[in-house]
Amino acid sequence: MLSEKMQKAINDQINAEMWSSYLYLSMSAYFENEGLTGFASWMRVQAEEENMHAMKFFDYVNGRSGRVKLQPIAEVQTEWKDTLDAFKDTLEHEQKVTGMINNLMSIAIDEKDFATQSFLKWFIDEQVEEEATVNEILDQLNLVNASGHGLFMIDKDMKGRSLPASGAE
């Protein structure tokens, strides 16, 4: 069984993951409007991935005889200066999520909740991957000054991203 403190923290994380999904869906709409369908597709996959993360936490709380308490999702940004600005926000957001996951682990360690520690290991590894991927995209955007033919080529490459067939990461 989850402690009240752990349960509340995970419920807050569910909300953060749903908010992340909503943010990335907003970015997808922004890129679609800008004619950058590859970036739009990449962000849409990212939105779906964040939703899957929320559901992993959702199922975990229920599986530990806890109580999921859904909260309102706050409004998200809908406009960015340009592609580079959107990906800078993406990195900043992923770094914030990493901090939240690390906080969950700290709570689990303090409470000697070994099951939750084991569960969170996957998310810790996932966040390392998320930040590395966004950093790589930022490096590419910086290399081409986020414009011209270089932006076109990166946009084309971004269309290749998809969720794993099973939906499990």
Per-residue pLDDT tens digits for 40-68: 999 999 999 999 999 999 999 999 999 99
Q: What is the pLDDT of residue 161?
A: 81
Rounded distance, CA 91 to CA 85, Å? Answer: 10
Domain of 38: which CATH number?
Answer: 1.20.1260.10
The answer as to whether 25 is a domain residue is: yes
Angle (nearest 5°) at CA 26 between 21 and 32: 125
Q: What is the pLDDT of residue 48?
A: 97
Lowest mean pLDDT among 4-18, 69-83, 86-100, 144-158: 144-158
Rounded distance, CA 127 to CA 137, Å? Answer: 15
The answer as to whether 92 is a domain residue is: yes
The answer as to whether 168 is a domain residue is: no
Rounded distance, CA 126 to CA 68, Å? Answer: 23
Question: How many structural domains does the chain have?
Answer: 1
Give the pLDDT confidence of 109-131 residue by residue, as tens digits: 999 999 999 999 999 999 999 99
Which domain does 26 fall in, by range? 4-69+81-158
Structure tokens at 75: 């409004």
Q: What is the pLDDT of residue 160?
A: 83
Q: Read off the pLDDT band of 75 (50, 70, 90).
A: very high
The answer as to whether 50 is a domain residue is: yes
Rounded distance, CA 116 to CA 118, Å? Answer: 5
For residue 142, which phi and psi values (nearest 5 degrees)?
Answer: -65, -35
The answer as to whether 166 is a domain residue is: no
